[in-house]
Chain A
Amino acid sequence: MKVKLNRIFIHLFLISYAITCLFPLVWMISTSLKTTSEVYLNRNLIPKSLNFENYIKAWTEGNFSIYFTNSIIYTISIVVGIVIVSTLAAYAFAKLNFPFKNIIYYAFLMMMLIPIPGAFVPLYVLLVKLGIQNTRIGYILPMINSGLSVSIFILKEFFEQIPKELEESAVIDGCNKFQLYYKIMFPLALPAISTIVIFNALSAWNEYILAAVNFTDPNKMPVQQQYFTRYELLMAATTIITLPIIILYLSMQRYIVKSISGAVKG
């Protein structure tokens, strides 16, 4: 009996925290569907009528067709870049031999563990110097770099667990190192690669500060740079921005939880 009562209290506590997590989002969606006067006159959770016009208005007035496209371009380029560069490097760190291998690997690891606050200032200086400030590539390249060290770390751990016999039999079949990488290692690493895709997609989509520093041309900016002063439009805009990552998260959440668990043990 006592155990049962405890369980009820535990669930009550957990449910109330789940509501705490969800309420601000529900409130965001609720506001985004209200008329201007309703936003300022009543605080009902459920809007009197569903004004999807707010979304159309936010989308057109906020030029979301441009920014959404930009964000998709950036997110895909950054993620693809990270996957290619980090799988190549992680494979070499795990399976190949070359001079200074460990020193280089620990340098990457250090970058993952030691934060450089305000790195956007020297990055801006560098981008100006390279003549790529206010260009798409000037945003994509440093963003690829910012995801590399963690991705290399996760992938290296994964590659190390792949048994040697697999490589050896492939070598006997006449595979060179590069064929070994893309015919055997890459396909085997797909579970680890999917966690890397999700994490980096989330952080690329959510990135704000480097975009603010890099872009002066509004036509190149990503979605996070858009906002409205009217709350119903602002909340419609934030809902539009948030929807893709919620969908990505809910469809892929098992990878996310698993990989964080791995990261803390590592």
Chain B
Amino acid sequence: MRKIGDQIGSFLFVLPALAFFVTFSIYPLFKTFQLSFFQWDGMTKNMTFVGFQNYINAFRDFIWLKSLKNGVYLAILALIIMNSIAFILAVLVNLRIRCSKFYRVVFYIPPILSGIVVGFIWKWIYDPNYGILNGILDILHLSQFKRAWLSDIHTALISVSIASMWQGVGGSFILFLAGLQGIPEELYEASIVDGASFWQQFFYITIPLMSRTLMIVSILTILGAMQLLTIVIPLTNGGPGFETEVPALRIYKEAFSNYRFGYATALSVLLGIMLFIISIIQIKLRRTD
């Protein structure tokens, strides 16, 4: 009897967290699934059950498919360009050079800024008439490359991508650096005794031992890029046309601009399933620790 009382007492410690969790995580999750089978404007009591119609519509929705394509594009660029830069920076900072602390602090400044602020700063940099980017091209006598970066359909998406990668490099950098610092120093020392060169060390020690970190960072990068939202709002809000439309922004607009809550939640489920599959790999990786 006393034991039961004791366990109830212990349970009380997790009760607040559990209450939050059930109300603001579990219930919304359940609600998302439920709403996705209805047609609903989000306000009136008029809810019509439509079965899988929202899902069927999603597969025919040109704008949604375009936003997914853009999300994949942003993810691929971030995986290749952003993570390469981050990896190189981490390897160099890890070489026990001077001022490594300074670099670490500076490289992690962009990630702590808000997406809105970063979006506005880059919008000003890209400004077609007065922006510094076109200004620099003028100074370098490359005026023929000047353009309205964010409203030109050829450069809008890559411009958004660059702004978001500028913000994201620091995050990947810190994770790579943590991974590198986890590699035992003795391995490098032993390899020097065996006469290994820098590149041999890099390919035979660093890369193999970093494979798990590389995978986790890649997955976090994909998850981040596919859910990009706030930075896009000040930059382009999805325009011109739907050139920079991204999945999360689409969900936001379907709910709060078009008042199609049922459809918006169906899109959430579809995107959620894609991200879930990617997350499973991440969870498996973390387990094999």
Contacts and interface: CB of A to CB of B under 8 A. Distances in A.
A14 interface: yes
A50 B119 CA distance: 25
B279 A99 contact: no
Interface in B224-272: 226-227, 229-230, 233-234, 247-248, 251-252, 255-256, 261, 264-265, 267-268, 271-272
Contact of A224 (B16, B116, B132, B170): B116
Interface of B: 7-11, 13-14, 16-18, 20-21, 23-25, 27-29, 31-32, 35, 42, 85, 88-89, 92-93, 95, 97-99, 102-110, 112-118, 120-122, 124-125, 127, 129-130, 132, 135, 166, 170, 174-175, 177-179, 181-182, 213, 216, 223, 226-227, 229-230, 233-234, 247-248, 251-252, 255-256, 261, 264-265, 267-268, 271-272, 275-276, 279, 282-283, 286, 289
Q: Is the interface of A mostly helix, strand, loop or mixed?
A: helix
A157 to B, nearest CB: 12
Contacts, number: 259
A245 B28 contact: no
Contact of B121 (A28, A117, A208): A28
Interface residues of A, number: 86
Contact of B24 (A24, A145, A235, A250): A145
Contacts of B108: 249, 253, 256-257
Interface in A72-131: 84-86, 88-89, 91-93, 96-99, 104, 107-108, 110-111, 113-126
A31 B17 contact: no
A37 B162 CA distance: 29
B35 A24 contact: no
5 contacts: A11-B98, A113-B286, A124-B256, A146-B24, A249-B112
